[in-house]
Amino acid sequence: MNGGLPGFHNAPASRAVVVASALFSVPFGFRGRFFDLGLSYQNVYQSLSIWRLITSLFAFSSTPELIFGAALLYYFRVFERQIGSNKYAVFIIFSTMVSVLLQILALGYLKDPSINPLTSGPYGLIFASYVPFFFDIPVSMRFRIFGLSLSDKSFVYLAGLQLLCSSGRRSVVPGVSGILAGLLYRLNTFGIRRLKVHQTEAAHTATQDPAESSIAALVSIGFDRNSAVQALVLTNYDVNLASNILLETQALQQ
């Protein structure tokens, strides 16, 4: 999976989530307490503590989930580069809060022992990110394997499917909750997309995308800014490759 520029350049919020997930997951994994971290009907409706809520949001339930989850969070940092860290922070907060609320409602409505406790980790943010991934990230390459038509986006979907089914119904509920949260954000429920975390001018200057000239070059050719940013992110800000992707996309749409 290629998420654009290497590392967490211009993606401090994404870096913070990945680091927090690793810091919470690894210590609890060494102690064999993964199964106790997720939300359950008992601890939500009887004695939910702040500590359990925090660990349920960041600590993955197993090492494979940590690997797949961290890889997806790393890939989805492209959205922070597209909309800026201050708006992306709102996306993180909104998707996480709505996902947790939906999980709590599901626990109360279903009262199913087979989903208690739910698997833990930032499922809300990860699966909410699949909504802009589906709608906004263009396909840059198509190929066939054993007669199946696939694209470069297929590998990201497969990684998400693996994470979604990693713990059966215990992981499906948080995953679906995240997707619904992402849809609500995209539909601009309550005008949430207008909000952004306040950022000082110095910090804003420090996190500005240095490839503004590349974006301007593509826009001057005739491409819209949003498509130009998406193509540049996918190609490590290579103007020539990005223009080829945009031209191919236009040709397929005609």
- Has residue 29 got a pLDDT over 60? no
What phi-psi label fits residue 19: left (phi over 0), alpha (psi between -120 and 50 degrees) or beta? alpha
How crowded is residue 116: how many other Cβ atoms within 10 Å of its Cβ?
17
pTM of the predicted model, to two decimals?
0.77
Contact 44, 22 (CB under 8 A): no
Q: Domains of the chain, with CATH numbers?
A: 12-194 (1.20.1540.10), 211-253 (1.10.8)
Written as one string, the DSSP assignment of 181-192 is HHHHHHTTGGGG
pLDDT in tens, 47-87: 767 777 888 899 998 888 999 999 999 999 988 877 888 89
Least confident of 114-128, 175-189, 204-218: 204-218
Q: Which residue reads 């989930």 in tokens?
A: 65
Q: Which structure tokens are listed for 213?
A: 């000239």
Give the tens place of pLDDT for each residue, 191-212: 888 777 765 444 444 444 446 7
